[in-house]
Amino acid sequence: MLVDLDIDTIAEATQLEIDAGTDPQTIMKALTDGMNEVGSRYEEGEYFLTELVLAGETMKEAFAVLKPHLSAEEKGGKKPVVIATVKGDNHDIGKNILGTMLMSAGFEVVDLGIDVSKEDIVESVKKHGAKVVALSCLLTMTIKEITLVNDALKDAGLRDTVKLIVGGAPLNMQLAKELGADDYGADAIDGVKRIGALLEG
Ligand code: B12
């Protein structure tokens, strides 16, 4: 349905799957696979920007229904994780999935949204006493923001107490380290595991 850009009925279909007892993680995987297929079609010139926008909106419709079913009760005792999409980047589907997965794993999440400045990230870390900052970056031209956030955390005297993890299509572990991050997550599931380890280590 995502690939067909079926925005009017995807919410209803998602609800039907939930009512039928389908594992919410399975539904999420189907949606992510669908989005990846949209991405491939765009890259191959079969889909254009209009389809991309509509696919993003279609994903949001389904995700709104799915989200409450992914969130488990708060386990508590964990320091919040600040998540954001870097400045200049408006892609939020991957970040939102990471946020929901973190919540469903019992983490407290402070989601600063998209196009977030380094100043807002530093302020939020201070305000919430966060021990992990997780940044999403989908655009090659905005990866430099990761270094800027790293430097801003250093300048604020926070870098020794806060870990920085990044994710998104243009990144990999080596690049993440070069940009100043402590870790890189290939997908939301990997990210949740790594954030758990960063909070413990
Ligand atoms: C949907 C989409 C859009 C939608 C975004 C809707 C939204 N609300 O997010 C719209 C249409 C708005 C859009 C706009 C643009 N887009 Co766009 N978009 C995509 C597309 C097709 C899919 C991205 C997506 O949501 N994937 C699904 C999610 C689930 O995957 P994900 O984001 O990668 O996240 C997963 C992992 O990466 C990881 N992850 C992500 N973040 C993090 C963070 C952490 C900490 C961790 C651990 C893990 C993690 O976990 C997630 C789940 O497993 C990609 C192509 C692609 N194949 O990726 C292009 C793509 C990212 N877009 C691209 C471009 C160029 C643009 C525009 C500049 C187009 C334009 N000319 O205007 C604008 C940018 C505007 C801006 N300032 O941001 C390029 C980027 C090229 C580059 N390397 O720089 C891509 C790669 C398409 C292409 N091949 O050209 N886009």
Task: Please indicate, yes or no, whether residues 101 and 194 belong to a single structural domain of this protein.
Answer: yes
> Any idea what the Cα angle at residue 133 is, between residues 131 and 137, rounded to 5°?
170
pTM of this prediction exceeds 0.85 = no
pLDDT of residue 71: 60
- pLDDT at residue 42 greater than cutoff 70: yes
Q: Which residue has the higher pLDDT, 78 or 121?
A: 121
* Ligand 1 centroid to residue 139 C-alpha, Å: 7
- How far apart are the C-alpha atoms of 42 and 57, rounded to whole Å? 16
Q: Is residue 22 part of a domain?
A: yes
Beta carbons within 8 Å of 178's beta carbon, 6+ residues apart: none
Task: Please indicate, yes or no, whether residues 121 and 97 belong to a single structural domain of this protein.
Answer: yes
Q: Which atom of ligand 1 is nearest to the CA of 32?
A: 29
Task: Please indicate, yes or no, whether residues 85 and 31 belong to a single structural domain of this protein.
Answer: no
pLDDT band with cut points at 50, 70 and 90 for residue 104? low
pLDDT of residue 75: 40
From 91, 179, 198, mutation site for ligand 1 pocket: most ligand atoms within 8 A of C-beta: 91
Task: Please indicate, yes or no, whether residues 108 and 179 belong to a single structural domain of this protein.
Answer: yes
Question: pLDDT for 43-88, tens place per residue?
Answer: 899 998 788 778 888 888 998 898 888 765 444 456 799 999 999 9
Q: Is residue 40 part of a domain?
A: yes
Domain count, the chain: 2
Nearest C-alpha neighbor of 75 from the set 106, 100, 99: 106
Task: Please indicate, yes or no, whether residues 104 and 154 belong to a single structural domain of this protein.
Answer: yes
Among 47, 70, 93, residue at a domain's last position: 70
Q: Which atom of ligand 1 is nearest to the CA of 55?
A: 1
pLDDT of residue 63: 86
Q: Is residue 76 part of a domain?
A: no
Q: Is residue 113 part of a domain?
A: yes
- DSSP string of the chain? -TTTT-TTTHHHHHHHHHHTT--HHHHHHHHHHHHHHHHHHHHTTSS-HHHHHHHHHHHHHHHHHHHHHHPPPP--S---EEEEEBTT----HHHHHHHHHHHHTT--EEE--SSB-HHHHHHHHHHHT-SEEEEE---GGGTHHHHHHHHHHHHTT-TTT-EEEEESTT--HHHHHHTT-SEE-SSHHHHHHHHHHHHH-
Among 49, 70, 91, residue at a domain's last position: 70
Question: Percent of the chain beyond pLDDT 90?
Answer: 60
Task: Please indicate, yes or no, whether residues 44 and 17 belong to a single structural domain of this protein.
Answer: yes
Q: Which atom of ligand 1 is nearest to the CA of 52?
A: 11
pLDDT of residue 76: 44
Q: Which residue has the higher pLDDT, 121 or 79?
A: 121
Task: Look up the CATH number of the domain holding residue 113.
Answer: 3.40.50.280
Range of the domain at 60: 10-70
Q: Is residue 41 part of a domain?
A: yes
Task: Please indicate, yes or no, whether residues 136 and 49 belong to a single structural domain of this protein.
Answer: no
Q: Is residue 4 part of a domain?
A: no
Task: Please indicate, yes or no, whether residues 94 and 153 belong to a single structural domain of this protein.
Answer: yes
Q: Is residue 103 part of a domain?
A: yes
Task: Please indicate, yes or no, whether residues 149 and 178 belong to a single structural domain of this protein.
Answer: yes
pLDDT of residue 81: 96
pLDDT of residue 79: 73
Q: Is residue 181 part of a domain?
A: yes
